[in-house]
């Protein structure tokens, strides 16, 4: 059984060589096949991680290495100050791009190619650009990180999949947009919107998943035992024209951390 420490050592000593890429792929397959797991995720969250696909898992492993590596460097220098999130994020983005290039899942000029192949951009928010072509069953999203680190942005995809299995995101690659922002390329089922969900409908939906309003005044943020659920406003929660049920297409979801 491959150990994470072996992957970390390979990245440290050999970069993203063919052998390192193979180690990451093998460990990813062990996760997908249920032979191993990542302890930070519970069973449902692990299913969400697997649903997001091998590209997300591989990139997330690289992010875990980056966080471990920079923390070890701080310890080695006898610093009493933990690395800042921006330092972790900077290293994660750098290494994920290197891994994606070596793995063959890095796409230059992805925005132009996606618009040509998958249709025009139909929506744009702080976190994602969304592309769709009439008749397709899925949209393409270019997600940028609005989280403290890129690793936590990847976590959010797995957590979304765990909470909202009807709108899973599957990662297919990575790119940088015209402004230089690192973006995760993913697919998501296309939802025909009957109307926007009401606050009451959103409250009821998330309550069934173990969340309650955090009472901070915005009315769109919720808290559970393990997770924060934020940005649950009607533009992110539709009533599906097919099921007539509320579905979340996007939100901010993250672990509760001390």
Residues 160 and 95 in one domain: no
Residues 96 and 13 in one domain: yes
> What are the backbone dihedrals phi and psi of residue 65, each rounded to the nearest 5 degrees, phi first?
-60, -45
Kind and range of the H or E run holding 8:
helix 4-14
Residues 9 and 91 in one domain: yes
* 8 A C-beta contact, residue 60 and residue 68: no
Reported as a single tens digit per residue, the pLDDT across 86-143 is 999 999 999 999 999 999 999 998 888 888 888 889 888 878 899 999 889 999 999 9
Q: Which domain holds residue 44?
A: 4-103
| Number of domains, the chain | 3
Beta pairing class for 182-189 and 170-176 = antiparallel
Which of 68, 103, 138 is where one domain is finished?
103
Which of 103, 138, 162 is where one domain is finished?
103
Residues with Cβ within 8 Å of 242's Cβ and at least 6 positions away in sequence, in order, are: 192
Residues 156 and 176 in one domain: yes
Place of tokens 């290293």: 91
The Cα–Cα gap between 123 and 103 comes to 29
Reported as a single tens digit per residue, the pLDDT across 138-194 is 999 999 988 999 999 999 999 999 999 999 999 999 999 888 889 999 999 999 999
Residues 122 and 88 in one domain: no
First and final C-alpha spacing in the chain: 32
Band of the pLDDT at 75, cuts 50, 70, 90? Answer: low
Place of tokens 């989280």: 147
Judge whether residue 217 has pLDDT over 70: no
> What are the backbone dihedrals phi and psi of residue 116, each rounded to the nearest 5 degrees, phi first?
-70, -40
Quote the pLDDT of residue 109.
Answer: 82
Residues 177 and 204 in one domain: no
The Cα–Cα gap between 251 and 69 comes to 30
Which of 189, 204, 228 is where one domain is finished?
189
Residues 118 and 158 in one domain: yes
The Cα–Cα gap between 64 and 175 comes to 20
Residues 123 and 209 in one domain: no
Residues 92 and 19 in one domain: yes
The Cα–Cα gap between 203 and 209 comes to 10
pTM, entire model: 0.93
Residue 158's CATH number? 3.30.200
């Amino acid at each position: 059984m491959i150990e994470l420490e072996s992957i970390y050592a390979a990245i440290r000593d050999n970069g993203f060589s063919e052998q390192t890429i193979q180690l990451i792929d093998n460990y990813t397959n062990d996760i997908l096949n249920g032979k191993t797991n990542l302890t930070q995720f519970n069973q449902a969250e692990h299913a969400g991680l697997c649903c997001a696909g091998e590209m997300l898992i591989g990139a997330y492993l690289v992010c875990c290495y980056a966080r471990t590596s920079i923390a070890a460097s701080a310890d080695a220098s006898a610093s009493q100050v933990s690395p800042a999130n921006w330092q972790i994020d900077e290293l994660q983005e750098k290494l994920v791009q290197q891994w994606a290039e070596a793995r063959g899942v890095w796409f230059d000029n992805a925005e132009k190619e996606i618009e040509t192949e998958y249709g025009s951009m139909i929506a744009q928010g702080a976190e994602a650009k969304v592309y769709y072509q009439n008749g397709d069953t899925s949209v393409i999203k270019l997600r940028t990180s609005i989280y403290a680190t890129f690793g936590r942005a990847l976590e959010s995809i797995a957590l979304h999949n765990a909470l909202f299995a009807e709108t899973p995101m599957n990662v297919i690659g990575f790119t940088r947009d015209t402004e230089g922002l690192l973006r995760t390329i993913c697919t998501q089922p296309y939802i025909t919107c009957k109307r926007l969900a009401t606050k009451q409908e959103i409250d009821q939906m998330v309550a069934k998943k173990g969340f309650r309003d955090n009472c901070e005044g915005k009315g769109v943020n919720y808290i559970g035992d393990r997770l924060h659920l934020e940005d649950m406003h009607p533009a992110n929660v539709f009533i599906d024209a097919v099921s007539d049920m509320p579905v979340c297409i996007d939100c901010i979801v993250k672990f509760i951390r001390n």
